[in-house]
Chains A and B, each alone.
Chain A
Amino acid sequence: MTPISHLYLHVPFCPTICPYCDFHVVRRQAGWVEAYLKRLLEEAGQLAGLWPLELETIYLGGGTPSFLRDRELAALVEGLRAAVGWAGEVTLEVNPGTVSRARAELWRELGFTRASLGIQSLDDQVLRFLGRTHSSRAAREAASYLRQAGLRLSADLITAVPSQRLEREVASYLELDLEHLSAYSLTVEEGTEFARRGVEVAEEDEREAFYRTEELLAEGGLLRYEISNYARPGAESRHNLGYWTNAFYAALGPSAAGHYPSERPGELAQRRTAATLEGWLRGEGGEVLPVSPAQYASDAAFMGLRLERGIDLRALGGRTGLDLLGSWPQLLRRPLEGGLLELQGGQLRATRDGWWVLNQLVTPLVEWSAG
């Protein structure tokens, strides 16, 4: 069985809940973190028994993992090392308000190699609009502490926010000397505070964010390698590349989703999603979805076409035992003819205009895999 090389660990606690957030998060309550840690390490212990692990990357996401107290995080790291070992790239998701010089150094000592800093904006007005509690100054300080502690640094940027000035925003980010940046345009998800307030994103802002951000960042040496992700060459997130290449990854924590190899007949993989916090704490299992070879292929396209380089249909065909080079070009005729997709030497990639409507492009493949 193919060994699993990536591990995602979900920390579901946040100090406050942001108005655009649709993740599974809760505010910290008495006793919950202890219970969480106990259950998490139990789960980690079982993991190694179930699947072969050869971890290259670990990612602690959330929520706000940096919101854990120092000794809680240390205990988590210690338990994790004992259960599943450690990896070459280990990322900690960090909220600017939780960073101090000392903590940055502690994280480095605990073995983290990389920090993903949830700045979102360096414009205080935009930050207020987004309901973030930190200031742009705190964000700059946090970035410098993390870099000085020797952590590789990535940051988040939210674009297409009403009243945001994109050029100024990007220029501020470039001053942080990042090696990696995730830039998302604001999406108003159903059920969020923004949706209730009727916040809308202007089509023109969205268009500018989509096309112009790339040009501005390229001038500063950050190249777009995925729809929303930019890096200096060689500094791409190996962990996230695992998702986009449809690799297998294990997941720990409430509502975390994993993708595991399977050798059952008709299955190439399984997707498993853990129960939400309360159920998970009681040891309840989550959802298990078998993944057929066709579904695996369509997942790979769904994720892989997000990458600048696209997907290798020959390799994917070999992996799934399906003649994708034979069948897919017909399914994708319209976008191929219209210049939204390109197929060269078996490599299928989406152009920028293709990325703009990628959901529409992959829908025929999702339908194909379901039927």
Chain B
Amino acid sequence: MNPPDIRNFSIVAHVDHGKSTLADRILELLGAMGERDRRDQALDTLELERERGITIKSTPVRLVYHRGDRAYVFNLIDTPGHVDFHYEVSRSLAACEGVLLLIDASQGVEAQTIVNAYLALEHDLTIVPVINKIDLPAADPAAAAQQLEEVLGIPAEEALLASGKTGAGVPELLEAIVDRIPPPGGDPSAPAKALIFDSFYDSYQGVVLLVRLLEGSLSPGDRILLMASGKDFELTRVGVFDPKPVPASGLQAGEVGWIAAGIRDIHDAQVGDTVTLLTRPTQQPFPGFEPAQPVVFSGLYPTDSEDYRRLREALERLKLNDAALVFEPETSLALGFGFRCGFLGLLHAEVVQERLEREFDLDLIATAPVVVYRLLLSDGRELYTQNPADFPSRDRIDLIEEPYIRLQVILPGEYVGPVMQLLQERRGQIRNLQYLGRRVELSYEVPFAEIFYDFHDRLKSLTRGYASMDYTQIGYRPGDLAKVDILVNGELVDALAVIAHQDKAYALGRKIVDKMAEVIPRQLFAVPIQAAIGGKILARATVKPYRKDVLAKCYGGDVTRKKKLLEKQKKGKARMKSIGTVEIPQEAFLAVLSQPD
């Protein structure tokens, strides 16, 4: 295929603005939707995507579009809209020359619309604006087009109107793709140069790399070099996506596809690396992607400690398909061996856990998600940590800083009051308030710890779903933060310590000790559970002592029988952890650790 006949583009938009549905109509029109696999959001192939009705992974598909007697190849990538999967979108854009930027005609421009538009501009991509869902009774295409112009500076008349539901406007959209999005450049006869923008593991083929050929060509039998890792392999197969991977005879400059080279060690192939020919390498590798910066951390532990190795393997394989995931081994007094994992947000964390459990058949325990704190120590050093257990003693800490974000919220004017109040409760400081027609854009600086967990849900329910949000990390700021220690029978339990803002420490401490007292089974003695900052006790609860546990009668004949009973009892104690003189079952730790503050 000649580069002039290729169009590479991603569909981007705010979450739920109809990307995957519009992709369905395009696939249909271009005859790529077989009767057999006809279903809504056909490109959402992960079980989890189908269950949750959201896109998690970018999915490429190769299509052929005939206009007159000319055939064009479209490489379409459907991207996720949720803020946590931003990194997926940015890597997909590296494989494209243009984007279809969708705007829900009933919602208008929203937070992720803006983010995605800027992302496309950063990549120098052509933006084709599409006002979507025009079939909706509440659709107001004119208002949406006007916002496009006002907020993003995109002329209103450039906007196409479409409905992914009815298919209206889709033929015109196909024309616009050919006419407006430039074909890829790249010299087909230059040394091969392909960018790895994603990957996955296949038990037969090993690591499969998703590539965009920037120059040259690749065919089976070629000896390839992965430039960053320095490893070389023989290409066994290459192919394209229909959207399942199907083999092809070769890939040319400008094309998007996959390659496999029997790569078994997943460390040899990294997303962002450049593939070239061993004997005839390109001079200038692709610069690579900026690594994703995890912002939320949580521990993942196998419920069965035997599964630790399998969990490591699963994480490594999943990372091939989720470049934003980071992890390192961690041990916990309460939970044993596991991994501390970094995520781009809470949804990302949930998705990773679920994928590990489903795709790798694991049973996992996740600890409550936390952010990374920055500690300035009295000896002048600084320490970044998400683990309260790593905090030095109070007198060795000069200052605790927490990550802040700039938060953009777009919402109808009538909800501004309650949302501002919510943001104040979350320790936010207003930076800007701007009217976008009948809507308002609020800009806040707020501690990330106050936002990542349940803010989005609260925002949605306060505004009947009409508000949208986006945020960017803006660095660390001092916070009136304290480490809340948990003491069981007077002994510190590291695994249970949490970081909290002074104003909220009491309530949090209360909640934890009550929970502990409820879940720890009765003990030999009454056991006090305390929450404390420094030496100051904030809250206290008590685990009750046992009920009577002694045989009323014990004569000659009872000995053997009762001894057997006692031996049975001890089996239940295997999963107990000893904290000083108190035995605590693993479940009790879990109840606290997996409960977000």
Task: Choose from B551, B555, B560 the contact partner of A359 (Cβ within 8 Å).
Answer: B551
B583 → chain A closest CB, angstroms: 9
Measured CA separation A141–B290 after assembly (Å): 96
Task: Choose from B550, B555, B581 the contact partner of A338 (Cβ within 8 Å).
Answer: B581
Task: Choose from A8, A227, A306, A340 the contact partner of B556 (Cβ within 8 Å).
Answer: A8
B567 adjacent to A370 (CB under 8 Å): yes
A362 adjacent to B560 (CB under 8 Å): no
B569 at the interface (CB under 8 A from A): yes
B552 adjacent to A187 (CB under 8 Å): yes
Measured CA separation A210–B549 after assembly (Å): 11
Residues on A with C-beta less than 8 A from B551 are 358-359
| Nearest B residue to A359, CB-CB | B549
Task: Choose from A299, A334, A356 the contact partner of B549 (Cβ within 8 Å).
Answer: A356
Residues on B with C-beta less than 8 A from A333 are 581
A202 → chain B closest CB, angstroms: 11
Measured CA separation A357–B566 after assembly (Å): 12
A184 at the interface (CB under 8 A from B): yes
| Nearest B residue to A257, CB-CB | B557
B549 adjacent to A206 (CB under 8 Å): no
Task: Choose from A203, A240, A299, A334 the contact partner of B555 (Cβ within 8 Å).
Answer: A240
Task: Choose from A8, A271, A337, A367 the contact partner of B559 (Cβ within 8 Å).
Answer: A271
A350 → chain B closest CB, angstroms: 9
Q: Which residues of chain B from 251 to 285 have any CB-CB distance to chain A below 8 Å in the complex?
A: none
Identify which of A73-81, A248-256, A276-284 touches chain B. A248-256
Residues on A with C-beta less than 8 A from B581 are 333-334, 337-338
Residue from A207, A244, A257, A287 whose CB has the most chain B CB atoms within 10 Å: A257
Measured CA separation A303–B555 after assembly (Å): 8
B548 at the interface (CB under 8 A from A): yes
Measured CA separation A288–B581 after assembly (Å): 38
B545 adjacent to A184 (CB under 8 Å): no
Residues on B with C-beta less than 8 A from A207 are 548
Residues on A with C-beta less than 8 A from B71 are none
B560 adjacent to A367 (CB under 8 Å): no
A152 at the interface (CB under 8 A from B): no
A107 → chain B closest CB, angstroms: 21
B525 at the interface (CB under 8 A from A): yes
A173 at the interface (CB under 8 A from B): no
Measured CA separation A251–B556 after assembly (Å): 9
Interface flags, A232-245, vs B, CB<8A=1, else 0: 00000000100110
A355 at the interface (CB under 8 A from B): yes
Q: Which residues of chain A from 351 to 371 have any CB-CB distance to chain B below 8 Å in the complex?
A: 355-363, 366-367, 370
Residues on B with C-beta less than 8 A from A195 are none
Measured CA separation A334–B527 after assembly (Å): 13
Residues on B with C-beta less than 8 A from A206 are 547-548
Number of interface residues of A (CB under 8 A): 47
Interface flags, A320-348, vs B, CB<8A=1, else 0: 00000000000001110110100000000
B560 adjacent to A271 (CB under 8 Å): yes
A224 at the interface (CB under 8 A from B): no
Q: Which residues of chain A from 187 to 238 have any CB-CB distance to chain B below 8 Å in the complex?
A: 187, 203, 206-207, 210, 227-228
Residues on B with C-beta less than 8 A from A48 are none
Residues on B with C-beta less than 8 A from A366 are 563, 566-567, 570
A26 at the interface (CB under 8 A from B): no
Interface flags, B533-573, vs A, CB<8A=1, else 0: 00000000000011111111111110110110011011000
A259 at the interface (CB under 8 A from B): yes
A335 adjacent to B556 (CB under 8 Å): no
Residues on A with C-beta less than 8 A from B550 are 227, 355-359
A258 at the interface (CB under 8 A from B): yes
Measured CA separation A203–B545 after assembly (Å): 12
Measured CA separation A303–B562 after assembly (Å): 11
A302 at the interface (CB under 8 A from B): yes
A273 at the interface (CB under 8 A from B): yes
| Nearest B residue to A159, CB-CB | B552
A121 → chain B closest CB, angstroms: 15
Measured CA separation A287–B567 after assembly (Å): 18
Residue from B546, B552, B581 whose CB has the most chain A CB atoms within 10 Å: B552
Task: Choose from A182, A185, A273, A337 the contact partner of B560 (Cβ within 8 Å).
Answer: A273
A306 → chain B closest CB, angstroms: 6
B553 adjacent to A356 (CB under 8 Å): no
Task: Choose from B524, B555, B566 the contact partner of A362 (Cβ within 8 Å).
Answer: B566
| Nearest B residue to A370, CB-CB | B567
Residues on B with C-beta less than 8 A from A255 are 557
A363 adjacent to B566 (CB under 8 Å): yes
Residues on A with C-beta less than 8 A from B548 are 185, 203, 206-207, 210, 356-357
With A258-B556, A338-B581: A203-B547 Cβ-Cβ less than 8 Å: yes
Measured CA separation A207–B547 after assembly (Å): 9
B506 → chain A closest CB, angstroms: 30
With A184-B552, A358-B549: A256-B557 Cβ-Cβ less than 8 Å: yes
Measured CA separation A273–B562 after assembly (Å): 14
Residues on B with C-beta less than 8 A from A315 are none
Residues on A with C-beta less than 8 A from B554 are 227, 243-244, 302-303, 306
B524 adjacent to A338 (CB under 8 Å): yes
Q: Which residues of chain A from 281 to 302 have any CB-CB distance to chain B below 8 Å in the complex?
A: 287, 289, 299, 302
Residues on A with C-beta less than 8 A from B525 are 338, 340
Residues on A with C-beta less than 8 A from B552 are 184-185, 187, 227-228
Measured CA separation A228–B552 after assembly (Å): 6
Measured CA separation A370–B564 after assembly (Å): 11
Residues on B with C-beta less than 8 A from A302 are 554, 559, 562-563
| Nearest B residue to A210, CB-CB | B548
| Nearest A residue to B545, CB-CB | A357
Listed A/B pairs (26) with beta-carbon separation below 8 Å:
A184-B552, A185-B548, A203-B548, A227-B554, A240-B555, A243-B554, A243-B559, A255-B557, A257-B556, A258-B556, A299-B563, A302-B562, A338-B524, A338-B525, A355-B550, A357-B545, A357-B550, A358-B549, A358-B550, A358-B551, A359-B549, A360-B546, A361-B524, A363-B569, A366-B567, A367-B570
Q: Which residues from chain B sit less than 8 Å from chain A, CB to CB?
A: 524-525, 545-557, 559-560, 562-563, 566-567, 569-570, 581
Q: What 3 A-B pairs come out closest when comparing CB atoms?
A: A257-B557, A184-B552, A358-B550
Q: Which residues from chain A sit less than 8 Å from chain B, CB to CB?
A: 8, 182, 184-185, 187, 203, 206-207, 210, 227-228, 240, 243-244, 249, 251, 255-259, 271, 273, 287, 289, 299, 302-303, 306, 333-335, 337-338, 340, 355-363, 366-367, 370
Given contacts A243-B559, A340-B524, A357-B524, 15 further A-B contacts (CB under 8 A): A185-B552, A206-B547, A227-B554, A251-B556, A259-B559, A273-B560, A302-B554, A302-B559, A306-B554, A338-B581, A356-B546, A356-B550, A358-B550, A363-B566, A363-B570
